[in-house]
A and B are shown apart, each in its own frame.
Chain A
Amino acid sequence: MDPAGWLHDYMVESHATADVGVRNGYDADFLVTTAAVPVPSDERLAVLDYVHFSVHQDTDRRLAAITAVNVDGTQLLDVDRGDAWRFDERLPEEHQAGEALYAGNDLDRGHLVRRRDPAWGDGATARLANLDTFHYTVCAPQAAYFNQSQELWLGLEDHVLGHARAAGQRISVFTGCVFAEDDPEYRGEFRIPRRFFKIVAWNQQPALGALASTGYLLDQGEGLDRILVRGLRAGEEVPGPGPFRTFQVPVADIGELTGLDMGQLAAADRYRVPAEAQGERVRGPVPRGAGGPWGDSMTSACETTAGAAVPGPPGHRRHCIVPPYMLEQLSRHLPRQPEPPPPASPFLPPPHRPPRGAEPGAPGRQADAVRDLDHQVRERRHRGIRPEGGVSTPGGTLDRNISDARGTQELPGVVVRSEGAPPVADTAVNEAYDGLGSVHGFLTEVFRQSSPDGLGRELRATVHYGHRYDNAFWDGRRLVFGDGDGEVLTGFTPSLSVIGHELAHGVMQYASDLDYQGQSGALNESFADVVGALVDQYVRGHTAEQATWLIGAEVFGAGVRARGLRSMSAPGTAYDDPRLGSDPQPEHMDRFIVTREDYGGVHLNSGIPNRAFHLAARSLGGHAWERAGQVWFDVVTSQDLPRDVDFAGFARATVAAAQGRFGDEVARIVRQSWAQVGVLTEGASAP
């Protein structure tokens, strides 16, 4: 959008909303907590109010010290982004940083207030809020590398938003720069902050008005220096290890770093230094500024990126609201490079088994090294990170039990972690434990289904089944995970969609129990994929549009040309690798596969109903579990579905369920989705 166009839009939207006075800035009473939540500020900061947010500008540094935005998750609107930045006329330009800072380098104008956060309410208000976020006062210079990392940083808000559903999906987000004495000078008139903070606040118990908060730090790392000092441009050179590291930190520590009084935001902090860690000094090297706030007050931090190649400040087992799957997401977008082993932890003993791929006979030192690296990444992902924020579950309803088959095919194996026990050294055990917790939380919170039979049975899993066993399955009572062959498939427990898939087979067993062959078998498989995908989306806070719709994106070894085991949005495109062949799934009835293998192609033809679900979810918009997922769940848990139902019968049942629960429009979209994959004909009358 050109500046003139932006101005035109801005004038139009300003005019449209002038009467309702929407430019009132951040609302301290927004969360309806017992006491208002003012912006942690300072009298020397200039306050600028916009639509649903405010900026407290440090006019010396020419950047925001802190921004505060109210987000109403129930009213968010998708509005076209603007891309023309402008000064705020209310402040002299020499108190802001414009193109003199951002032009001709690889510094992004990083939104401190996320563009979509204030864009809620009626259309005109949302559009004006969106445009308001394109003031220079709302952005800060961030190294342009690793956009995915930046997306994750922004995505923290989605994650917390997902948790705030009980509180009407309202959160307030405070984001700002950590100004430090040694921030590097740039172009003679600016100094670039190395770190940024984010504090998310929500009403934890609406009935009591109990405020909750959680804080994070983003560290730009070494990539920033290369841009500033050497004028490095993207693509020229891979920056050193550790760019863009995100840590969960105590809100009080953010207060110390910024000099802002965090008040009740610190008191409401959900972060707790574990008792066993209190009083411990930080172990290992500390980053830049050691002896300063990091070294002295960062008693603990939750490192959330694979930038952990540099032994960072964390030295303790940590609590973290960020689930491992978000961390995984980030680690996959960082460049692979040799990494030192993670710093020794005073709390976690070394793994009790050799790294994956270190078994005798593993071919080639390079392959060993790659597998060892994979192992390290997995270990690090879980080392000290307890995803207590993965998905919450009602107390007392969850009873997990993880066993270890120790490389045999004997079930159930030896129990190695039961409900409530702390993490063990074995990553696979913890991944299975955490994954079961997330699936259970999803089923409980979304579908009011707490276990496979809905009767409170314990959730059981066995890991390390067989030797290099490249499969995961539901055995009728428990989930069973092999370790993979160590080369192409490197294990299944890292994948929440796979864990959700397997547990869904358990749900199905106690519900419609569709025959596991032919079309009913493919529907059985498809529903398992639906649950797997939805759990993954739920934990990430993804809408149908944002989601990857991949099943098992995390199970492949390095260098395998695969995005996942299956793609629900584009069946037949998940992989194409010399070792795997190409993904054979059909996406339309025209290409239905008749085969004797795979119980009649249950994992192949599931592509057809998978795509129908995806199409329905995309057309319905929003979170896929809310409508499409609910409809599918209603059908599978109904008493009426014949065990040998075919695609058409199942499709008609979903149309009927959509009609019954949501009415004409949703039923029409569901029918249309099945028509697009050739199962139903469009426009036919009621099922």
Chain B
Amino acid sequence: MTEDRAISTPDPAPGMLEVTVSRSGGVAGMVRRWTARIPDDGTPAARAARRISGLAPAGRPGEASRHPDRPGSGPSPGQGARGRVRDAFQWTVTCGDGSVSYDEDGRRRDPDLDALIDVITRRP
């Protein structure tokens, strides 16, 4: 599944953050993408976006791969008892030069990121 809700002007206005969320996997194995801009206003979603873009420190628990760069492989689907999830969605969030990939559990363990994905994917 492909869905681009991009607002594709090249340069975000000052005070705005452009975020792309990609959802892959799931039993259907289809990829969906959403791109949108959000104000850099200190909300949880903005905090997550700034962190990803390198403007804020990164490395939260549950983060599966900050810069996934291994061709032909992706991040492990989580740790512990729920590491055996199969057909989970994989979320990749890109802002600026930064990019992180999470599984569903990783997403949920990071409330800021969860909020960011919510904002981007639900934005009309």
Contacts and interface: CB of A to CB of B under 8 A. Distances in A.
Interface of A: 409, 470-476, 488-489, 492, 498, 501-502, 505, 508-509, 516-519, 524-525, 528, 552, 555, 565-566, 579-581, 585, 594-604, 606
A597 B90 contact: yes
A488 B86 contact: no
A598 B90 contact: yes
Identify which of A470, A552, A565, A597 gathers the most chain B CB atoms within 10 Å of its CB: A597
Q: Which of B25, B29, B85, B108 has the most CB of A within 10 A?
A: B29
A489 B85 contact: no
A224 B98 CA distance: 67
B76 A517 contact: yes
Interface stretch (B9-17, B52-60, B65-73): B65-73
B74 interface: yes
B2 interface: yes
The 9 A-B residue pairs whose C-beta atoms are closest, nearest first, are: A603-B29, A476-B84, A597-B24, A505-B86, A473-B87, A599-B74, A598-B24, A518-B73, A471-B26
A481 B2 CA distance: 22
B2 to A, nearest CB: 4
Contacts of B29: 525, 565-566, 585, 598, 602-604, 606
B85 A475 contact: yes
A247 to B, nearest CB: 34
B30 A581 contact: yes
5 contacts: A474-B85, A518-B72, A596-B68, A602-B74, A603-B28
A524 B77 CA distance: 14
Interface in B83-118: 83-90, 92, 101, 108
Contact of B1 (A472, A492, A525, A579): A579
B88 A473 contact: yes
Contacts of A498: 27
B2 A528 contact: no
Nearest to A577: B1
Nearest to A579: B1
Secondary structure at the B interface, as helix, strand, loop or mixed, is loop
Given A471-B87, A517-B76, A518-B72, A598 B25 contact: yes
Interface residues of B, number: 35
Contacts of A597: 22, 24-25, 31, 74, 90, 92
A474 B72 contact: no
B1 A599 contact: no
A606 B29 CA distance: 10
Nearest to A592: B72
Given A552-B28, A581-B2, A471 B89 contact: yes
Contacts of A508: 86
Contacts of A580: 1-2, 30
Contacts of A604: 29
Contacts of A518: 72-74
Interface of B: 1-3, 22, 24-31, 68-77, 81-90, 92, 101, 108
B27 A472 contact: yes
A505 B22 CA distance: 24
Contacts of A581: 1-2, 30
A602 B85 contact: no
Contacts of B1: 488, 579-581
Given A473-B87, A476-B84, A594 B25 contact: no
A474 B92 CA distance: 21
Nearest to A603: B29
A602 B73 CA distance: 9
A470 B28 contact: yes
Contact of B72 (A509, A519, A555, A565): A519
Given A476-B85, A502-B86, 8 more contacts: A470-B26, A472-B87, A518-B74, A580-B1, A581-B1, A596-B92, A599-B90, A603-B27
A596 B74 contact: yes
B28 A489 contact: yes
Contacts of B2: 580-581
Contacts of A565: 27-29
A360 to B, nearest CB: 15
Contact of A600 (B3, B69, B73): B73
A509 B73 CA distance: 19
Contacts of A585: 29
Contact of B83 (A472, A476, A505): A476
Nearest to B77: A516
Contact of A473 (B69, B73, B76, B85): B85
B8 to A, nearest CB: 19
A533 to B, nearest CB: 14
A273 to B, nearest CB: 39
Nearest to B89: A471
A498 B87 CA distance: 11
Contacts of A489: 28
Nearest to B71: A594
Contacts of A579: 1, 3
Contacts of B87: 471-474, 501-502, 505, 603
B97 to A, nearest CB: 16
A598 B27 CA distance: 10
A524 B27 CA distance: 12
Most chain B CB within 10 A, of A470, A502, A552, is at A470
B92 A501 contact: no
Nearest to B103: A599
A55 B93 CA distance: 70
B119 to A, nearest CB: 16
A472 B81 CA distance: 18
Nearest to B92: A597
A468 to B, nearest CB: 11
A473 B72 contact: no
A508 B31 CA distance: 25
Contact of A598 (B3, B70, B74, B76): B74
